[in-house]
Chains A and B, each alone.
Chain A
Amino acid sequence: MTENENTSNDPIIICEDVHKWFDDFHVLKGITTTFKKGEKAVICGPSGSGKSTFIRTINRLEEHQRGTIIVDGIELTNDLRNINLIRQEVGMVFQQFNLFPHLSNLKNITLGPIRVRKLSKRKAEEEALALLERMGIADQAYKYPSEISGGQQQRVAIARALAMEPKIMLFDEPTSALDPEMISEVLDVMRELAHSGMTMLVVTHEMGFAREVADRVMFFDEGVVVEEAVPADFFDNPQHERTKLFISQTLQH
């Protein structure tokens, strides 16, 4: 099975001329793009270019101030009902994991299903254990986040997001806070997730992962999408000077 077979032609996220300011600072300067169901997009670009801000507008952790964003047919407005619907459809994984330190790993995962999806405690725990199994850390269920390694914490965070059965997963530099030897264990579960057909937007500088998994690589700089292409073209034949510079700098490491 290749990634392309998973990708249909139905758009699931439509962004049109999305602008965002922090006070006077123009962070997103008109992003127009469409993500298809099952598509894996990797977003890269220099620090401060607005990558995090962009994916955070998609589950409305940030509000955009101009343009439209439509996620799975629901337009993002200030309507609280819409926001809650969107947040159930869109899972998010953070750079700093953001696990709840006062809850065991299992309870981190079951909190959303029990309170939002209104599952019974038993059903939610069953599902959570299955997810932990899938992440390869079933034996860590009853520990607390502070008692496991960074790589394991990030996999618990992925399980927590998946437990809401989202249609889309957002990853904001999921491996940037990890020690090098733990990066691959997280990338492995993301790869597995990609193969299962999930729609994924991944901000990352892991170029190997991008080459292997992405349908499209988007390059952000100063709040605009400077260049986007399939990985092969993007890495081997970049068009813009800034892209070339960025790729050469990133691949040097």
Chain B
Amino acid sequence: MEEQADIQQIKPPTNAKGPVGWLRENLFNTWYNALLTCVALLFLYFTFKGILTWAFTEAEWNVIPANLQLFAIGPYPRDQVFRIWICLYILTGLLGLSAGIWRGIVQRWTIVVGSIFLVFLVIPFEIVPRQDSNYVSIEFRFNLIWLIFESRRWLLGNIAILIVTFFLGNRISRLRPWILGGWILSFPIIMFVLHGFGENAVHTSLWGGLMLTLILAVVGIAVSFPLGVFLALCRQSKLPAIKWVSIFYIETVRGVPLITILFMGNTLITIFIPYFTIDQVLKMMVAITLFSAAYMAENVRGGLQSIPRGQHEAAQAVGLNYVQSMLFVVLPQALRAVIPAIVGQFIALFKDTSLVSIIGLIDLLGVAKSILAEWLGRHVEVYLFIALIYFIFCFAMSKVSQEIEAELGVGKR
């Protein structure tokens, strides 16, 4: 008995050596590694010193807060901004409900979004500290203060909606089947609200900034994903016509740069169909979606091929028909296997939306360009800022994907 106790008490050898030991082992273990480390340190020192000195002395960051609204919504008419808030309310409400019903990832990220709202409530995001602000009239200042309070009122309402819907979702789990429908329906509703109708309609040529970037990306992602799955299934079809059409489509689109497709979508369609004009934003949405779907299809195909034949056979043997066996057996496993590739594709799409600025839309990049036409010589500041915004969104997507993978890892063989 005693012997047994002894055996159980033996612990694995620890390899904790303290920071100095770690440094010696990893950075200075040989003379050439020590040399490399020193060179790298010097390099880092000079670069960072340069960047930091620039950021704190030379850079004139006021271009950013002065144009925050432009970055956010582009030339969207200021007296119609309430529409955007309404859309934000719809999305926040759906998010709150979803977070209340599902725990885990959705809840964590809702808390993140909520905190971002709170931060915006506190930081002075509308202050316009232009250097020549001495000349600003009293009236303008008054307007400004009023504006500040207006967006904060809206934001406060938004936070209230988040909290209320969260508790609603938490209480009433019967809402669950309606949520997905709600998210899908929210797309057309938001488009409609943003556009409006009659005299006050806001033509899409006035949509811009981060808002336009997000609209293009979300629509592209949400539509190209199912379309890509569909194309991947068609590519595996036993019917030659369906199979070859989908192969032709996928390979053609993958063989052409996105910018070409955007140009074709923009100009060729107008040449071919000159009788009526199609909305430019809509054209870009369609082009981005069709482009992304081809890549999505190839990612999904990779997943489909990783599923062993036995899974199809077992599904058939249980009596599931083709659609059911795809929906409940094959696709859940296939998509899970390619989450990293799919999210990589989403991230690429998000960044690729910036190409629409070449066509003349005023997305985040387009806004940056138009601001630079006025604020001469502030390129670095402005581009760093929008790079940061792109990074935040892409990093968040990448993070979410990792979390989904971890969560779905349960029971995976």
Contacts and interface: CB of A to CB of B under 8 A. Distances in A.
A112 B318 CA distance: 6
A91 B319 CA distance: 9
B332 interface: yes
Nearest to B309: A98
Interface string A77-102: 00010001001101110101011111
Contacts of B411: 101-104, 143-147
A84 B317 CA distance: 9
A155 interface: no
B316 interface: yes
Contact of A87 (B316, B328, B413): B316
B338 interface: no
A116 B313 contact: no
Contacts of A140: none
B310 A98 contact: yes
A161 interface: yes
B409 to A, nearest CB: 11
A164 B319 contact: yes
B271 interface: no
A175 interface: no
Interface string A7-39: 000000000000000000000000000000000
Nearest to A59: B317
B413 A111 contact: no
Interface in B331-383: 332-333, 336
Contacts of B30: none
B319 A94 contact: no
* Interface residues of B, dominant DSSP: helix
Nearest to B321: A84
A160 interface: yes
Contact of A94 (B314, B333, B410): B314
B63 interface: no
B329 interface: yes
A92 B312 CA distance: 13
B413 A100 contact: no
A119 interface: no
B78 interface: no
Q: Give the interface centre of B314, B321, B410 by most chain A CB atoms within 10 Å.
A: B314
A238 B328 CA distance: 48
Interface residues of A, number: 31
Contacts of A98: 308, 310-311, 313-314
A115 B317 contact: no
Nearest to A107: B328
B314 A99 contact: yes
B320 A112 contact: yes
B403 to A, nearest CB: 18
Contact of B314 (A90, A100, A104): A100
Contacts of B318: 87, 111-112, 116, 160-161, 164
B174 interface: no
B410 A61 contact: no
Query: For A88, A91, A98, which residue has the most chain B Cβ atoms within 10 angstroms?
Result: A98
Contacts of A103: 411
Contacts of B311: 98, 100
A161 B333 contact: no
Nearest to B410: A144
A139 B324 CA distance: 28
B412 interface: yes
Contacts of A80: 321
A102 B319 contact: no
Contacts of B316: 59, 61, 87
Given A100-B329, A101-B413, A102-B332, A161 B321 contact: no
Contacts of B314: 92, 94, 98-100, 157
A156 to B, nearest CB: 12
Contacts of A99: 314
A104 B411 CA distance: 8
Contacts of A96: 310
B319 to A, nearest CB: 4
The 9 closest A-B pairs by CB, nearest first: A144-B411, A98-B314, A112-B318, A98-B310, A146-B413, A92-B317, A116-B319, A87-B319, A101-B413
Interface of B: 308, 310-311, 313-321, 324, 328-329, 332-333, 336, 408, 410-413
9 contacts: A61-B313, A98-B314, A100-B329, A102-B333, A102-B408, A112-B320, A115-B320, A116-B324, A157-B314
Interface of A: 59, 61, 80, 84, 87-88, 90-92, 94, 96, 98-104, 111-112, 115-116, 143-147, 157, 160-161, 164
Given A98-B314, A145-B413, A164-B319, 16 more contacts: A61-B317, A80-B321, A84-B319, A87-B316, A88-B319, A92-B314, A92-B317, A99-B314, A100-B311, A100-B314, A101-B411, A102-B333, A102-B408, A102-B412, A116-B319, A145-B411
